[in-house]
Amino acid sequence: DSDAPRLTVIGTGYLGATHAICMAVLGFEVLGVDADPEKIERLAAGEAPIFEPGLPELLTKALDSGRLRFTTSHAEAGEFGDVHFLCVGTPQLPGSDAADLSYVESAVRSLAPHLRRRSLVVGKSTVPVGTAQRLTGLVQDLAPAGTDVELAWNPEFLREGFGVDDTMHPDRLVFGVASDWAHERLRAAFKPVLDQGTPVIRTDLATAELVKVAANSFLATKISYINAMAEVCEAVGADIKDLADSLALDDRIGGKFLRPGLGFGGGCLPKDIRAFAHRAEEIGVGQAVSFLRQVDDINRRRRARTVDLVREVLGGTVAGKRIAAWGAAFKPNSDDIRDAPALDVAHTLHGLGGDVRVYDPAALGNARRAFPDLRYGDGAFEVAEDADVVVLLTEWSVFREVEPEALAEVVGHRRIVDGRHALDAARWRKAGWEYRALGRS
């Protein structure tokens, strides 16, 4: 298609790598850009930088097609592209709740002077509302005189572990634009996805930025809501699983993101709700979203209460006890350990003197680098050898499928704490285990 815009994708992390690869597979000419030469070399050699089901195969396919290339040069990006996607991270600033916008800004500063023709720069990163307006000024100031450049915002909703499917078949596309031209360019840059009938919301820049944080805040609130109910259940000996199942059958409520347990972590939900609360305070509407502080507090309490439950199961002391920690990633089918509840709990138990051994099917490498003082093992059974308690922290299917009778052969004591409500309590109890989960009697 000769009308198809040529795309660059700046930033090749979870979001950017997935976006670049999928767009090339959909038929676009794509140039992936990253400041890190090692990352670029590995991608160009066909090595996916992240654990994402289906991505390695699509990377090979895209490279073979000749439509996907990688570079560290922003000059090359400016030369090549018509539409430039900003996919760099916006992590939490150390010591603050605010988002660190330095990567987004430096991407714009590096790219803008190299733009060579009428260009559209599209932000995909999650940013505080108002950022797009500010970046519009920046990109126009820095672009060469006479080069017409516009900025648009297209928030990204992909979930880790489902990144390919969420990119190829999103629930919706949100186009925050300041002109018809920008809107048409975005439509062209997503044509194959739009042709599937994907709904599009055309809106202004600020709304597009807000949709993302509003969505993640809602999801976080839903999880903390059910976990707040779990706290109440704990106090009265009621059963959070039955309660959640009952709510889920009301289709106005729905069962998604209503799974109680250790709560949310990852590179998005925790930092996004904090940055949103912070931004709202800055612009004088802090009161409107002050509940997000409580959502965060409820979520953090889950980790502390899980540690307390392990201590209780161990008769009051953790020190010297052998603890098998099942899971390190913030959720199954991911190697991501950013703000992972699992590692938080494992590390706290270790700090209390527990002899903790951690296993995770995908995140061990990352966990070892981040927490070198923890001990690790190579399998669910291996770390459970002679354990005083097994603690399920991330609900990978390899843990869900463990036979309680087989595990009983290796542990020291048949005690299991199910931090994710992932196991069949009756089955484990029948096999002679003391099964415990927060919010269940």
Binding site for ligand UDX (CB under 6 A): 156-160, 216, 219, 223, 257-259, 261, 263-266, 268-269, 330-331
Q: Per the annotation, does 260 bind a ligand? A: yes
CA quadruple 213, 218, 223, 225: dihedral sign: positive
Residue with tokens 């090359």, as numbered in its chain: 76
Which one from 22, 87, 233, 268 is the annotated catalytic residue? Answer: 268
Q: Is 192 helix (H, G, I), strand (E, B) or coil?
A: helix
Q: Per the annotation, does 258 bind a ligand? A: yes
Look at residues 301, 315, 380, 385 and name the one whose alpha carbon lies nearest to residue 344: 301
Q: Which is nearer to ligand UDX, 78 or 267 (CB)?
A: 267
Q: Which is nearer to ligand UDX, 158 or 380 (CB)?
A: 158
Structure tokens at 148: 């017409």
Q: Per the annotation, does 316 bind a ligand? A: no
In angstroms, the CA 382 to CA 23 distance is 42
Q: What are phi and psi of 357, to 5 degrees?
A: -125, 130
Cα distances from 24 to residues 48, 56, 79, 162, 239, in angstroms, run 15, 13, 18, 18, 48
Residue with tokens 């109440």, as numbered in its chain: 232
| 311, containing H or E segment | helix 291-313
Q: Per the annotation, does 271 bind a ligand? A: yes
CB atoms within 10 A of CB 117: 11
Question: Would you call 268 a catalytic residue per the annotation?
Answer: yes
Q: Which is nearer to ligand UDX, 42 or 159 (CB)?
A: 159
8 bridge partner residues:
31, 84
Report CA dihedral (142, 143, 146, 152) to the nearest 10 degrees. Answer: -110
Tell me the closest approach of the beta carbon of residue 261 to ligand UDX, in angstroms.
Answer: 5
Tell me the closest approach of the beta carbon of residue 286 to ligand UDX, in angstroms.
Answer: 23
Tell me the closest approach of the beta carbon of residue 131 to ligand UDX, in angstroms.
Answer: 17
Tell me the closest approach of the beta carbon of residue 410 to ligand UDX, in angstroms.
Answer: 27
Q: Per the annotation, does 51 bind a ligand? A: no
Q: Which is nearer to ligand UDX, 259 or 429 (CB)?
A: 259
Residue with tokens 């106090």, as numbered in its chain: 235
| 70, containing H or E segment | strand 68-71
Q: Per the annotation, does 261 bind a ligand? A: yes
Q: Per the annotation, does 371 bind a ligand? A: no
Q: Which is nearer to ligand UDX, 259 or 301 (CB)?
A: 259
Tell me the closest approach of the beta carbon of residue 368 to ligand UDX, in angstroms.
Answer: 20
Tell me which residues are annotated as active site: 268
Annotated binding site: 34, 39, 90, 126, 157-160, 212, 257-261, 265, 271, 331, 338
Annotated binding site for NAD(+): 34, 39, 90, 126, 160, 271, 338
Annotated binding site for substrate: 157-160, 212, 257-261, 265, 331
